[in-house]
Amino acid sequence: MLTDVSAPVALFLFAHQDDEFGVFARIEKELRAGRRVRCAYITDGAVTADPDLRDAESRAVLQKLGVSTHDIFFMGRQLGIGDGHLHSSVDVLSGWLNAFLDMQPLIVACFVPAWEGGHPDHDLLHAVAVRLFAARGCLEIVRQYSLYHGLGCIGPLFHVLSPLPQNGPVELQAISWRDRLRYLRFCLSYPSQWRSWVGLFPFVLLRYLSAGFQQLQHVSIPRLGERPHEGPLYYESRGFADWSTLREVLNQTQHPETQSSESPLISSFKCNTEDGVRCCDGKEL
């Protein structure tokens, strides 16, 4: 499909291939609004399957949604960020994302994984993106989407597409029954991840049957200093990481929101503060 390079950009950031299942409806909404949807995957996704297979699966799903192949970026292998190892490459991600944003002057919306304790890669990507957008005065254009978390769950059980109350009010976008069925079919488009989807799909199905909404929340800097929720986090229950380690990683990495505008990390990428749709080159659309 043809891409209007002058169109305002909606940026979707994903930690892993197939994370796009959390924002199918929003991707299509942004495209209908005439925005150029650009999607970036931050880790190589190699823990559970060949990255080439995972890339192809997500690319095919995004193309069905209407995203141009030229606007899909698989950065994990290029940046050397392994699946489950973002904690050792936070500065690499911060540097790349900062440079990427410099080249996207028309960003009017950004969507990041929720701060919810589901997977350490999700939370770290969230933190890096929130800090960078806050440093530019653009935090109001960022929204978080829930994938999965373990609040109130026992052992390996989890909630899917269920925003945490701790993250604030939820913005709802109704999803038609026709689209719910389409999105469920898309969820079956990741054969390399069948083991994960054996556990995920029943909960996604129940979510679509019981509540047909795309749910998004605002983001905030103060939340990054808080444990996502009380009790064991899902990634702690699975032995992937622990909150104290994640917090230490974040504390040891750069905090662009505290640096001066003359810092090399803070580019000319800015948002104005006027009413209307905000554009990251300071123009109003």
274 lies in some domain: no
159 lies in some domain: yes
Report the alpha-carbon distance of residue 42 to residue 177 in Å, rounded: 32
264 lies in some domain: no
98 lies in some domain: yes
In total, how many domains does the chain have?
1
Report the alpha-carbon distance of residue 278 to residue 85 in Å, rounded: 34
275 lies in some domain: no
**pLDDT > 70: percent of the chain:** 88
Instruction: Return the pLDDT at 278.
Output: 43
Q: Which residue has the higher pLDDT, 251 or 155?
A: 251
Report the alpha-carbon distance of residue 75 to residue 118 in Å, rounded: 21
What are the pLDDT digits (tens) for 4-61?
Answer: 778 999 999 999 999 999 999 999 999 999 999 999 999 999 999 999 999 999 999 9
What's the mean pLDDT when you consider all of the chain?
Answer: 89
Contact 71, 9 (CB under 8 A): no
Q: What is the pTM of this model?
A: 0.90
268 lies in some domain: no
36 lies in some domain: yes
What are the pLDDT digits (tens) for 64-105?
Answer: 999 999 999 999 999 999 999 999 999 999 999 999 999 988
69 lies in some domain: yes
Range of the domain at 106: 9-258
The radius of gyration of the chain from alpha carbons, rounded to an integer in Å, stands at 18
Distances (CA, A) of 230 to 117, 136, 170, 227, 238: 10, 31, 20, 7, 16
47: CATH: 3.40.50.10320
Angle between helices 177-186 and 24-32 (to 10 degrees): 120
Instruction: Return the pLDDT at 105.
Output: 81
